[in-house]
Amino acid sequence: MTKGRIRARVRRSNLYTFSCLRPNVQESAQSGSLPQGPGFSRIVQCNQPILHRKRPFRYPYNHISTTKYNVITYLPKALFEQFRRAANIYFLLAAILSLTPISPFSAVSMIAPLSIVVGLTMAKEAIEDWNRFIQDRKVNRRKVSVHNEGGVFSYKAWQDIRVGDVVKVEKDQFFPADLLLLSSSYEDGICYVETMNLDGETNLKVKRALEVTLPLDDDSTFKHFSGIIKCEDPNPSLYTFVGNLEYESQMHPLDPSQILLRDSKLRNTPYVYGVVIFTGHDTKVMQNSTLCPSKRSTVERKMDHIIYILFSVLILISVISSLGFAVKTTYATPDQWYLLPLDSRNKLYNPTRPMLSGLFHLVTALILYGYLIPISLYVSLEFVKFLQANFINRDIYLYDEESGTCAEARTSNLNEELGMVDTILSDKTGTLTCNQMDFLKCSIAGTAYGTRRNEVEIAAANQMAMDLEDQNSDASSFHRMENSNRSADTSEIELETVITTKDGKDYNTAIKGFSFEDNRLMNGSWLHEPNLEQIVLFFRILSVCHTAIPELNEDSGAVTFEAESPDEGAFLVAAREFGFEFCKRTQSSVIVHERYPSYGQPIEREYKILNLLDFTSKRKRMSVIVRDEDGQILLLCKGADSIIFDRLAKDGTVYLDATTRHLNEYGDAGLRTLTLAYKKIEESEYNAWNDEFQKAKSSIGGNREAMLERVSDMMEKDLILVGATAVEDKLQDGVPQCIDKLAQAGLKIWVLTGDKMETAINIGFSCSLLRQGMKQICISTMNVEAGSQDSKKAVKQNILMQISNACQLVKLEKDPNAASALIIDGKALAYVLEEDLKHQFLKLAVDCASVICCRVSPKQKALVTRLVKEGTGKTTLAIGDGANDVGMIQAADIGVGISGAEGTQAVMASDFSIAQFRFLERLLLVHGHWCYKRIAQMICYFFYKNITFGLTLFYFEAFAGFSGQSVYDDWYSLSFNVILTSLPVISLGVFEQDVSSDFPALYQQGPKNLFFDWRRIFGWMSNGLYSSLIIFFLNIIIFYDQAYRAGGQTADMAVVGTVMFTSIIWTVNIQIALTMSHFTWIQHVLVFGSIITWYFFLFLYGSLPPTISGYAHQLLVECLAPSPIYWATTLLVTVACTFPYLAHISFQRSFHPLDHHIIQEIKYYKKDVEDEFMWSRERSKARQRTKIGFTARVEATMRQLRARLQKKQSNVAFQSPTFRP
């Protein structure tokens, strides 16, 4: 080892043919020009960061922020957020008007409630944003080694890095900014980068430094380093880069293979050196992010419209009141001398200017009737949402034991929105999958190996068996007995994870990357299999055809593999378990230890590497040409079946039919497949081909890659098929179950991934978004002919034609069980997101059962999310775990971040965070459903009680000649919302629940907005209007001229107001008790305790001196409590007010029950225990008919099995001879 450089290791650029080509200096000079003008003006002085702090550069620091506010913007932005609410604007105006002498209430009584409401809400926003700031600070304070001066490196925080700094990034660290790779720990400047945070891909990318910067291989070499980078300006394109490096008086062109992007991770490389090009919000990952939006729930936005309606009602009755007052001033005031109507200074009661008096009274009325607008609603909502969020945070069922992570409601503003989601847009890698590949099955020489059963096969077989039992049983008792022995019932398919072997023994995976089980191959049993030569060749291809490098863990002695992709690592683990262990790689050879049961020690075999034709997304295959110990030259190849099958020799297709059948089965099961083949090469043939290959490899010019591809094709033909592999892209625990429940709840699921189309399709099968028989509509630009690819118009026309044909296909489908899946790649998506195509695309996507978008950039994820949100007008939820998901998380109505291993960017930008995708089911179907229903009922009830209370003020003013006099004591009015009715409504919003999550179809009550539609809102308003009329007129009629005390005294205004207020308290509290479905001791205490509190309040308030209590002094003790008419009136009014609602819900539950009414009744009468068959039937009904998800996939498999069974029975019946006597 010299200068810290690893020289004993492989010169890795020799392993790559296509991805690690370096142009020489002459070619660099020819192609090093940079476009001039806007977009290409960035200049970076390498190793001189101080220059970029001055003009004309002034590049930003590396500090990032995802918060909504800062010290300067907090006050104006937070105030703007608060006064976006219509009610707050009204109360601000009322507070201002309360400073005038025409206000019926004191200024303090109007300003204090508004200040408390706004202040508490702003404080909550500040706390939530402070939490975001803390997480931002953790990222900004990460440390990285930065060059100071004189070849000395020291650790600095990320936020202190400047453009031009030279940084040293070590293995498994994230890159702190966008860097130009100068050199690595390997002598040829190769490094491996994981870009999962950017594009979601799990395979490692190979990056390479310019050859001219390779000598910068140690800290001391940067002492006098300098250079100038001229490149493109900051932009969001992750896959392009244009620039050049001026170094040692020569110009060297730069391309994306030399750029290390922020938030990608250095893997399998001890360290790299790089110079900072873009920092902070100029980096490409931040360019793909969007500003943190201010989100408001659908319910809250609709609540504003209700406020507008009530405000209109308020203005209407205020105008009526002011007109009435003006008429009274004109005709009645001259006779009322005590009002001083002739005093010129009296403007309120001036009969000569009635319009002015009416205008003043309008202001008085607007303030007096202000109780129609419930200002306390916002405080109560904030408090309820805070408690709901606390329940989410403390839910033990949302706790992940493996990581020790709880769910977190990062904002409580959107709790109810969780119950209204229509479409889920999900990332794949790290969200649905756990970034682990497991070798599961294989096909060798036409024989399928691997007996682990797929979950779909297990569930379908169990269901078929139960159906057959049901058909063959003469009595239902046997059927029910069988149901009782099973945890699942016949009408419901439950997903089980069962792993069995052929001999019936359970098998649990103990080796990472290897879930294979088959006694025919394990423990050397493959020696007794037919086609032994093909089996050995299969294992050798797995252990030799790769670019991985083994790493020995000195502590444990275990060997791990540094592979470019998880698939390759899984192949090597599988080969090792079969007895073919790849143990060493040199510059020109691969060494494999082959273990045979008959030998005590493994046999070491060395394969000389002659050429390696590496994998690219275009080639879809990789090959290695080796010379074995016998001198035989072999080409070993693995790749996509569509590519390999086209290159088979005539005598190489012996196992083609059987292998094709196995591949189809593996694909239907959602497994990732590769085909293995080989070819023996004569020495002369190889020498002739190698001469051509070396010429192409060393050629200079733009057609070098095409020449290499042509020469490679010459060798990669006439192959002999050996077999195929099937690996499982390991889903996170519970993903299929979760998707199945979400689909049964009627939710649509889109997958947006940076992976290639084949990978995304495999995952679609794994998580049951795709299934057998589903029509796959693939839209891409690859179908365009070569001659028209350069024309944007032709490409768009072709894509439009694909969309139109697909729409027609979906429209003409008559089979009710048929389903279509839309799959589109990133290039085509760039066109369909344009204004003239996006609506056609969205129409097609909405008609499809599932949608998968492949190769999408973070920006495209955000654009797709925005298109779905705005185009459908329904609530969207985006879920992801990496920085590449931040855009769509912020663009969606609700953003959910998964707190996985890919950093915290997604969590910081999210509204809710969970540890794994499976927790989304409970977050939506339980917390979301309950929060929506609670908030909706709470708001409707709030408007009901305020209308009930507020309109009685209007009735009394009209009854009292529009005098502006309130019938209630001021303290009654102030305590109505704050003390006497606040706690029951909070208990409704926090504890109310209808049924459990076993009934996913009930979730559709949220997206359909059944509990907060205009019909229900106006119904509650009408109920409030009816109650106010009953309360006022019944009390007036009873107490108008009726003696209420034994001494014959009639009621005055204080008595009538107190009796009316008592009736209101009883009515609204009994009403909320009738509304609740779920009672605990808490609800009983709060509801009936509020009624009792009113009497305590009236007693204590009346016990105060008359100077404080006024007309309420000893009112309860001396006047009302001894009077039977007081108690009788309260009972009569309460019954009259609540009877219509009681009759309505009784009629509804008896004749037109909702789904949850039926389930509640079954639960109440314990029919779920007494009659399991009925309970199972009802549970089955409480599911949306769906075409995706595990249940739909099992049903499709069952239909196929039944069809095969019927066909087989028909054939048997047809072939059986007819017997005649």
> What pLDDT score was predicted for residue 1198?
66
135 sits in which H/E element: helix 107-140
Of 156, 152, 99, 159, give the one whose Cα is nearest residue 133: 159
Residue 703, both tokens: 């057609």
pLDDT tens digits, one per residue of 1013-1055: 999 999 999 999 999 999 999 999 998 887 777 777 788 888 8
Contact 578, 557 (CB under 8 A): no
> What pLDDT score was predicted for residue 673?
87
pLDDT tens digits, one per residue of 309-320: 888 888 898 888
Query: How big is the CA angle at 452 (ends 451 and 453), to the nearest 5 degrees?
Result: 105
> What pLDDT score was predicted for residue 17?
56
> Which segment, 144-148, 1000-1004, 1161-1165, is predicted with the most confidence on average?
144-148
Mean pLDDT across the chain = 80
How far is the CA of 317 from the CAs of 314, 323, 362, 1017, 1027, in angstroms?
5, 10, 9, 20, 18
> Which segment, 39-43, 292-296, 892-896, is predicted with the most confidence on average?
892-896
Instruction: Categorize the per-residue pLDDT at 481 as very low, low, confident or very high, splitting at 50, 70 and 90.
Output: very low
> Which segment, 17-21, 387-391, 550-554, is predicted with the most confidence on average?
387-391
Residue 133, both tokens: 């700031």
Backbone CA torsion sign across 712, 718, 722, 725: positive
Instruction: Categorize the per-residue pLDDT at 720 as very low, low, confident or very high, splitting at 50, 70 and 90.
Output: very high
pLDDT tens digits, one per residue of 563-614: 777 888 899 999 999 999 998 887 688 999 988 776 667 888 999 999 888 8
Say how far apart CA 709 and CA 884 lie, in whole Å: 32
pLDDT of residue 142 exceeding 80: yes
Contact 641, 663 (CB under 8 A): yes
Considering only 102-111, 129-138, 1060-1069, 1106-1115, which range has the smallest mean pLDDT? 102-111
pLDDT tens digits, one per residue of 655-667: 999 999 998 888 7
Total residue count of the chain as it appears in this document: 1221
Percent of the chain whose predicted confidence (pLDDT) is above 70? 81
Instruction: Categorize the per-residue pLDDT at 1142 as very low, low, confident or very high, splitting at 50, 70 and 90.
Output: very high
pTM over 0.75: no
Tell me how far apart the terminal alpha carbons of the chain are, to the nearest angstrom.
Answer: 96
Q: How many CB atoms lie within 10 A of CB 815?
A: 7
Contact 314, 946 (CB under 8 A): no
pLDDT tens digits, one per residue of 848-888: 888 999 888 888 888 999 999 999 999 999 998 877 788 88
For residue 415, the SS3 value is coil
Residue for token pair 């839209």: 779
Instruction: Categorize the per-residue pLDDT at 483 as very low, low, confident or very high, splitting at 50, 70 and 90.
Output: very low
Identify which has the larger pLDDT, 557 or 1095: 1095
> What pLDDT score was predicted for residue 491?
35
Contact 880, 240 (CB under 8 A): no
Residue for token pair 């659908």: 298
Query: How big is the CA angle at 1022 (ends 1017 and 1023), to the nearest 5 degrees?
Result: 100
pLDDT of residue 493 exceeding 50: no
pLDDT of residue 255 exceeding 50: yes
pLDDT of residue 917 exceeding 80: yes
pLDDT of residue 670 exceeding 50: yes
pLDDT of residue 1196 exceeding 70: no
Backbone CA torsion sign across 128, 133, 139, 143: negative
pLDDT of residue 39 exceeding 80: no
pLDDT of residue 507 exceeding 50: no
Rg for the chain (alpha carbons), in Å? 38
Say how far apart CA 15 and CA 149 lie, in whole Å: 37
Identify which has the larger pLDDT, 387 or 814: 387
Residue for token pair 């304070």: 141
Percent of the chain whose predicted confidence (pLDDT) is above 90? 25
165 conformational bin, left if phi > 0, alpha if psi -120 to 50, beta if neither: beta
Instruction: Calculate mean pLDDT across residues 1083-1103.
Output: 91
Identify which has the larger pLDDT, 396 or 1189: 396
Q: Facing residues of 625 across strands?
A: 611, 635
Contact 1086, 1093 (CB under 8 A): no
Q: How many CA atoms lie within 13 A of 597 on its CB side?
A: 9
pLDDT of residue 335 exceeding 70: no
Say how far apart CA 505 and CA 452 lie, in whole Å: 11
Contact 185, 269 (CB under 8 A): yes
> What pLDDT score was predicted for residue 504?
40
Catalytic residue list: 427
pLDDT of residue 259 exceeding 80: yes
| 3-state helix, strand and coil shares in percent for the chain, rounded to the nearest 5 | 50, 15, 35
Spatial CB neighbours of 334, under 8 Å, sequence gap ≥ 6: 341, 351
pLDDT of residue 616 exceeding 90: no
